Amino acid sequence: VCNGIKDARAEVLLCPASVHLSEVSKAVADSPGIKLGAQDVSVHDSGAYTGEISCEMLTDLGCDYVIVGHSERRQYHGETSELVAEKAHKALDHGLIPIICVGETLQQREADETQAIIEQQIRAAIQKLGIDAFDKAVIAYEPVWAIGTGKTASPQQAQEVHAFIRSVLAGENAAISEKTRILYGGSVKPDNAQTLFGQPDIDGGLIGGAALKAGDFLAIIKATDS
């Protein structure tokens, strides 16, 4: 995979499970175009929190990024938008770039609550971090109903939400909103990646299952070239 990524024009980030971070860090050491990130981080800097992984531990392993607030963390671990914002704040304090995940469930979409849910999640982050933080922080829109289900938001549906996210940021600072990277995550595959990435407010992908297949992952990366 590393050899296939060498000539990619896109920035490529790998976020393996924490137990594999050290091994992957060594594997990409000679591939400057590939960044390393973690799937989650503790809100605590240090202390007796058995099992937690701190920002300092991640930076020691060579991480540049960390995902916070993934829908599965929110759903299965009860993480609130406020806790997610606190994790993002800790990450920035330690030189890590947080990828802040937002998204709605199928029930919320069907109830026409998508924008309200997304705005609440984003404003919690803005309140904690300040709008200037989004010069570095990344947002990932992941419709929960399209994660691991094989369902994908249409390019138009995804673009609509991405444009809304950018408009929320623009209400605070138009220049920052234009620079903020907003990724789409939700059953991105080789056959839909190019169309999704071609939308004006979709800046890349947060790839899940397809990243476990080297050929599919490389094809998705290649889709960013066009």
Give the residue numbers annotated as catalytic, written as ranges. 70, 142
Q: Which amino acid is at 2?
A: C
Would the CA dihedral through 128, 134, 137, 142 be positive or negative?
positive
- 8 A C-beta contact, residue 100 and residue 139: yes
Sole residue written with tokens 């590939």: 34
Using a 10 angstrom Cβ sphere, with 0-12 exposed, 13-18 middle and 19 or more buried, the burial of residue 156 is exposed
SS3 48: coil
Longest dimension (CA), the chain: 49
The residues, any chain, with a CB within 8 Å of residue 194's CB and separated by 6 or more, are 223, 226
- 8 A C-beta contact, residue 55 and residue 63: no
Sole residue written with tokens 């800046």: 203
The residues, any chain, with a CB within 8 Å of residue 32's CB and separated by 6 or more, are none
